[in-house]
Structure 1
Amino acid sequence: MTPLRQALIDECKLRGYSERTRDSYLYAVTQLAKYYHQSPDTISDEQLEQYFRSLSLERELSSATIHLQLNGIHFLYKYVLKRTFSIDIVWPKRPRSIPTLLSKVEVKQIVAHCRHEKYRTMLKVYYGCGLRLNELVHAKVEDIDRARKTLRIHNGKGNKDRDVVLTESVLHVLRGYWLHFRATDWLFYSSRGMEFQVGATSVQKAFREAVKLAGLSKKCSIHSLRHAYATHQLESGMPLNQLQQQLGHVDIRTTQTYLHWLPELNNSAQDLMADWEGVS
């Protein structure tokens, strides 16, 4: 391991950054070094500007991906190299597409077609609490507070802790799961043993298989369960600020995005052609 790489890791640890953030920063710096075949501490501002142009023009990366690259490289220069840089970045226009939205019936079909009890339970908890996949696989038995009916999420997005509400249905599912698997540390442990958490890739694979077995033609990912939780809760009348807390959004504007995906929600539009006869 190079001294520069170790220094970057140490700075991330000092600031309490999550392992995921650290890895994304390391990846960004590594990609920059590979592009020029030289150490990042010898790269000029002009080279940096050209590199970010290449990410957009040559690799056609999204603005979100480019921003992740910029965060990692900026962290290296500011906190490790103690050097400032000023570059002009042209951000590609970000498409505003609406993701696939699953109905309650479709979610139930997917879960029912998940063949393994452990993964079936994980999909139920994922949807029933509106979690992120990383939060689900990192859940521990001790994080469940049966008295308060909550699940403690550690180091969620933004490296923040929060409590999410566990409904009676989710608690019932978890009780049945624990009686069968008797988890002691990681709530959902790996086939390698209880001391290992289940891998995120395994959960995604189980989800894709369940979608296929359910015969759904919609293009969806396991994250669609989180979107389904949010949209279904809004349709059921959950206040926006409560949904924000449950999802772990720092900015309520992120939560408000779901309102734009549900134009039919509380829609008072009138049928302007209701009294027309023989509309063609």
Structure 2
Amino acid sequence: MTNSNVILECTTHKGNSQITIRFIYNKEIINIIKNLNGIKWSKSLKSWYLLKSSENINKILNLLENHNISFTNRIIRNQNKKHITTFPVSYELLLKRKRYSTNTIKVYTSSLKKFIDFLDKKPIESATEEDIRNFQDYLIQRKKVSISTQNQAINAIKFYFEKVLQRDRKTYYIERPKKPKQLPKVLSEQQIFKILKHSKNLKHKFILALLYSSGLRISELLALRKEDILYDKNLIFVRSGKGNKDRTTIFAEHMKKLHNLYINEYKPNYWLIEGFNRKQYSSSSVAKILKRAALKAGISQNVTPHMLRHSFATHMLEQGIDLRYIQNILGHGSSKTTEIYTRVTSKSLAKIKSPLDTFLDNKTI
């Protein structure tokens, strides 16, 4: 369908953020967009509109794309509409086609939008290497972002020029900052026990115990389906983990009773861990329940879900499990990534004798 170009705008009306859908009158398009739940017609705006949410945006984009309707996605920079910057819709669509994770898509699109905003009225296609460097300086000096966030911004811009526009890399190559080599933060086995003990809610206890006992990333936990628990084999099937790779990890014997209690009480429909309206549980909710449980357990340090994964790997190493097995269970592409846990295990260090103890033996100084 090429007769009418649909324009999508994010606007604010009476304090509510909404998606406005504008196009020259076309009965066929009207019949199509009427299928969207919650769609309304505004006489004053002379356009169709829908409450703004990531879910509604995805619904609109998919609907238009499936019906081959050309459209422009505009993001209004401020309420007084001094000017409008256009976000390349093909960017997000290409990320989805390449099967990037939901979180990566969210981070990349957010980073590119910030870069477009930074460019002001200058089209992103005309951005130079100097513009990108200036944007980096802005992130570092003004926004005080972390090295990780800075690298994500570079990756987002690189993807646009390299994959969407298919330009040569040398025209926008930016040197990356070196990430500091920090040791992973690990909880003791006793601290893990206290956290689980202080998780009184069955669902919360199940989530935290599963994260730790299987060494899952939080994104992997939230993507688990009911059938991914291979109960009889004591395994968990992890779909499209980091790097879009499938793998299996262990399902602890002690998790079986907790799993049965959870399934019988909450009766998940599709996702193993479901939230409101049986949708996927959110990562922020997991972080909150872990933080509450840690505080109740008397742990003052900031505990994050990824610390449970680090703790799992470290405790496995302390049990004498071969590093190669741990690498496969965690889904690490390189053994060097797994080897970092050898630097935080306390039991391995405890076995090493100081030279002073060796030469003094039973002597005193």
Number of residue pairs the alignment of both structures matches: 276
Kept in 2: contact 1:111–1:210 (CA 8 A): yes
Q: Is the deviation greater in 260-269 or in 223-232?
A: 260-269
Counterpart of 2:107 (choices 10, 24, 32) is 24
Structure 2 SS opposite 1:78: helix
**Match for residue 125 of structure 2?**
41
| Superposition pairs of residues 125-274 of structure 1, within 5 angstroms | 125-190=210-275, 192-193=276-277, 195-262=278-345, 264-265=347-348, 267-270=351-354, 272-273=356-357
1:66/1:175 CA distance change after superposition, 3 Å = same
Whether the 8 Å contact between 2:184 and 2:341 is mirrored in structure 1 is no
1:219-270, CA deviations, whole angstroms, 9 ceiling, x for partnerless residues? 3222211111011000011111111111111111111111122264164333
The alpha carbon displacement at 1:97 in A equals: 2.7
How far apart in 1 are the matches of 2:128 and 2:177? 23
For 2:237, what is the secondary structure of its paired residue? strand
CA distance in 2, matches of 1:91, 1:8: 22
- 2:204 is paired with a residue of what secondary structure? helix
Q: Percent identity?
A: 26
Matches within 5 A, 1:36-75: 36-37=119-120, 38-75=122-159
| 3-state SS of paired residue (1:164) | strand
**What amino acid maps onto 2:147 in structure 1?**
S
Task: Note if contact 1:100-1:219 (Cα within 8 Å) is conserved in structure 2.
Answer: no
Contact 2:129 2:173 (C-alpha < 8 Å) held by counterparts: no
SS in structure 1 at match of 2:249: strand
Deviates more, 1:213-222 or 1:226-235: 213-222
CA contact 2:87–2:113 (8 Å) conserved in 1? no
Give 5+ residue unaligned stretches, structure 2.
1-72, 75-85
State TM-score, norm by structure 1.
0.89
What is the RMSD computed on CA atoms of the aligned residues? 2.1
- 1:133 counterpart letter in structure 2: I
Q: Identify the structure with bigger relative contact order (alpha carbons < 8 Å, sequence gap 6+).
A: 1
Q: 1:263 to 1:102 in 2, by over 3 A?
A: closer
1:70-95: per-residue Cα shift (whole Å, max 9, x none)? 11111101122232343564544433
Partner of 2:183: 98
Q: Is the 8 A contact 1:130 1:225 kept in 2?
A: yes
The answer to whether the 8 Å contact 2:198/2:296 transfers is yes
Contact 1:28 1:72 in 2 (8 A): yes
Q: Which runs of 5+ in 1 are unaligned?
A: none
